[in-house]
Chains A and B, each alone.
Chain A
Amino acid sequence: MDSSIINVVNLTIHAFLVGSLLLGLHRKIIARIQGRPGPPIIQYLLHTIKFYVKEITFPITAGNPLYIFVALLDVSVWLTALIIAIDLKSSLLIIIGIYVLQKIVEHGCGLSSGSPYGKIGGVRSVFSAAAEVPLFAVVAAIYLTTHSVLISDILNYQSIHGSLLFKMPICAFAFFILLVSKAPNSPFGIVKGKDIVSGYMTEHYGLLASIIYIAEAIAYFALLWIFIAVFIGPWVVSHPLITLAVMVGLTVILAFVNGLTPLLAPHHSVMLQMTIAGLVLCDVLYRLIMGG
């Protein structure tokens, strides 16, 4: 067996455990903000394990095999992101492609179940693709500054020229908004808003919910790692404990943002994200005119 695969297996387990605990911490902080004791930090992990051994049935309105396939694709998508970003330190453009695939998962998940709530969640996931526009603009700005979209090159650039967070604060803000929109109870979380029960996940319960939870824990870890690597720099990602500390810090900030803001209406969410994309595009134009 290739030794790199053993590293990837370790990385997957690490990402799942850390991602689960961070999501548990996120939930705990939101509960404290709302004046509730909240569940223990390991609750997300317990939920994942509990649902893994709970029964499922295929709703007679479900479109199989898409109904199962989307949940499995969710795990595949974020495992790919984990390998591309953290293990291979490859291109940011592939990460964007993977993020687009995630939208297909949300759309397919909602529509395959045949549930009206799932369908609305699936349709809203198409609106929320607006979150990717700032991401494209961010990659363009990073390319103009570092002359590469490879994460390894961006890390090398930062080790020589310092953190990109201070050089491109608008881009960092736009990427941070992406983290906000991916975190639970987000103001941009129109796909899983409580007005449509659990959105696209309404009919994916039991084992399938557990598989989606595993994917979301890996996704949360991967996105936090990419933010830290691209904007804060190699001195953080080279030490696992410092990376963990920064991830905890980011989770606290995200929990405060999500705990103190209401869920936006779908059109407001899209308008706000497009406005942020506009800001980043202005930044890109400025960098083009000034020559990087």
Chain B
Amino acid sequence: MDEERKCGLYLLIIGLLCTFGIVMFKGMICYLLYVIAVPCLLYGIGSYLIPKTRRKNAGRLPFRGF
């Protein structure tokens, strides 16, 4: 598994746990969990929708002396 999807998996787990917390709890903690869950789920789901990189040397971007 490449690093982008590995991060995505961790964030997806955090996002799902927070969503579970939102369903279970009531009050101000729900807002806190919501604020954590949304970006985690956005990246977590997105990381599995993006295609695999076709670059030969992934991470070696132009204008960095490469």
Q: Which residues of A contact B (CB under 8 A)?
A: 1-2, 4-5, 8-9, 12, 52-62, 64-65, 68, 71-76, 79-80, 83, 114-116, 203, 206-208, 210-211, 214
Contact = CB atoms under 8 A, between A and B. Distances in A.
B58 interface: yes
Contacts of A73: 39
6 contacts: A2-B26, A4-B30, A53-B51, A58-B59, A68-B11, A73-B39
A225 to B, nearest CB: 17
B35 interface: yes
A80 B35 contact: yes
B52 to A, nearest CB: 7
Contacts of A59: 59-61, 64
B1 interface: no
A1 B40 contact: no
A55 B53 contact: yes
Nearest to A88: B31
A12 B3 contact: no
Given A1-B23, A59-B64, A75-B42, A54 B50 contact: yes
A73 B35 CA distance: 9
A55 B51 contact: yes
Given A54-B50, A114-B64, A207-B50, A12 B7 contact: no
A122 to B, nearest CB: 16
A58 B40 CA distance: 17
A71 B36 CA distance: 12
A5 B35 CA distance: 11
A211 B27 contact: no
A62 B58 CA distance: 12
Contact of B61 (A1, A8, A203, A206): A203
Given A5-B31, A72-B39, 9 more contacts: A2-B22, A2-B30, A4-B30, A53-B51, A55-B50, A73-B39, A83-B35, A203-B61, A207-B43
B46 A115 contact: no
B24 to A, nearest CB: 9
Contacts of B26: 2
Contacts of A52: 46, 49
- In the A-B complex, list the 4 residue pairs whose CB atoms are closest, starting with the nearest: A72-B39, A75-B39, A60-B59, A57-B58
B36 A76 contact: yes
Contact of A211 (B39, B52, B54): B39
Contact of B4 (A58, A72, A83, A115): A58
A72 B25 CA distance: 23
Interface in B7-42: 7, 11, 22-23, 25-27, 30-31, 34-36, 38-40, 42
A88 to B, nearest CB: 8
Given A55-B51, A57-B4, A72-B40, A211 B46 contact: yes
Contact of A5 (B34, B40, B53, B61): B34
Which residue of A12, A58, A74, A116 has the most chain B CB atoms within 10 A of its CB atom?
A: A58
